[in-house]
Amino acid sequence: MSEPKVFVASPEAKSKATQLRIFAMIAWVLAMAGQVFAILKLISDETLIWLIVAIVVILILAITGSTLWKKANRLDPASEEDTTRFFIQNQLGAIMGVLAFLPLVVLILTNKDISGKTKGIAGSIATVAMIAAGITGADFNPPSVEKYTEEINQQTEAAEKLNINTDNVFWSKAGNKYHAYENCHHVKGKTLSNGSIKESWEEKGISELCKTCQKKAAKSSVPSDVKELINDK
């Protein structure tokens, strides 16, 4: 059995994660800017419809930022050993989602210059949007270096039992599975990368063997005398 492998995000994965985090931050900044605009210009009875439109736009931006941030975390996860960083990195989407609405919700509900109807409608919509942004941004199964390390070694051990060359598997640019065979029909004609199972994790976050390759490897690993018995039956 091969030596246990420790997950380390590749430079390519770190670079992609950085790009995603930058785009996430831009989305969150725009959401905050939208909130400031709504607070300064749209909290009134006359602009209720535009206030609702602004809330929807802010929600879309907040969710977009959280989605991009989670994708980045799966390419370049934090370690559970640093509990503070681990929590902040994985739950920043929820924090930013709530912050994108909380001041707006408070100011709508406490504003004395708008009617109770406007408070009720806008306040309810903004509160629901805040909850939605917070829940969507939260990561209930956050990735970590430790989890990836454990899963890589589990995948490697399972592949070794099927006599798969764990140091030479294949994956495509857009694929989400690695392949034991270069001629697998799922990747036939595609440009492939190859390397170890660990490298497929580090570069693409791929964590699953192709089912077709798995079945083929399982058949290939059956001893010839057993195959003969099966065929005789």
Residue 70 token pair: 């989670």
How many structural domains compose the chain? 2
> What pLDDT score does 30 carry?
98
112 contacts: CB under 8 Å, gap ≥ 6? none
Task: Please indicate, yes or no, whether residues 56 and 117 belong to a single structural domain of this protein.
Answer: yes
Q: Are residues 91 and 153 in the same domain?
A: no
**Average pLDDT of the residues in 173-198:** 88
pTM across the whole model: 0.82
Residue 204 has pLDDT above 80, yes or no: no
Residue 206 and residue 122 in one domain:
no
Place 225 in a pLDDT band, splitting at 50, 70 and 90.
very low
Measured distance between the N- and C-terminal CA atoms of the chain, rounded to whole angstroms? 34
If DSSP states are collapsed to H, E and C, what string results for the chain? Answer: CCCCCCCCCCHHHHHHHHHHHHHHHHHHHHHHHHHHHHHHHHCCCCCHHHHHHHHHHHHHHHHHHHHHHHHHHHHCCCCCCCHHHHHHHHHHHHHHHHHCCHHHHHHHHHCCCCCHHHHHHHHHHHHHHHHHHHHHHCCCCCCCHHHHHHHHHHHHHHHHHCCCCCCCEEEECCCCCEECCCCCCCCCCCCEEEECHHHHHHHHCCCCECHHHHHHHHHHCCCHHHHHHHHHC
- Please check whether residues 156 and 61 belong to one and the same domain: no
pLDDT over threshold 50, residue 224: no
State which residues form the domain around 19: 11-137
User: Do the domain assignments include residue 1?
Assistant: no
Please tell me whether residues 115 and 177 are part of one structural domain.
no
Of the given ranges (51-55, 200-204, 216-220), which has the lowest mean pLDDT?
A: 200-204
Verify that 45 and 20 share a domain, yes or no.
yes
In a domain, 142, yes or no: no
Q: Over range 206-230, report the average pLDDT.
A: 70
Q: Do 66 and 129 have their domain in common?
A: yes
The reply to whether 95 and 197 lie within a common domain is no
- In this structure, is residue 207 part of a structural domain? yes
pLDDT recorded at residue 3: 66
Residue 194 lies in a domain: yes
Mean pLDDT of the chain: 90
Highest mean pLDDT among 11-15, 123-127, 224-228: 123-127
Whether 46 and 77 map to the same domain: the answer is yes
- 105 has pLDDT over 50: yes
Q: What is the pLDDT of residue 233?
A: 42
Per-residue model confidence (pLDDT) at position 158: 87
Give the pLDDT band of residue 229 (cuts 50, 70, 90). very low
For residue 6, how far is the Cα from the chain centroid? 21
| 2 domain residue, yes or no | no
Compute the distance between CA of residue 23 and CA of residue 48 in angstroms, rounded to an integer. Answer: 30
Q: Burial code of 89-123, b = ≥16 C-beta within 10 A, e = fewer?
A: bbbbbbbbbbbbbeebbebbeebeebeeebbebbb
Whether residue 53 lies inside any domain: the answer is yes
Categorize the per-residue pLDDT at 181 as very low, low, confident or very high, splitting at 50, 70 and 90: very high
Lowest mean pLDDT among 8-17, 97-106, 179-188, 215-224: 215-224
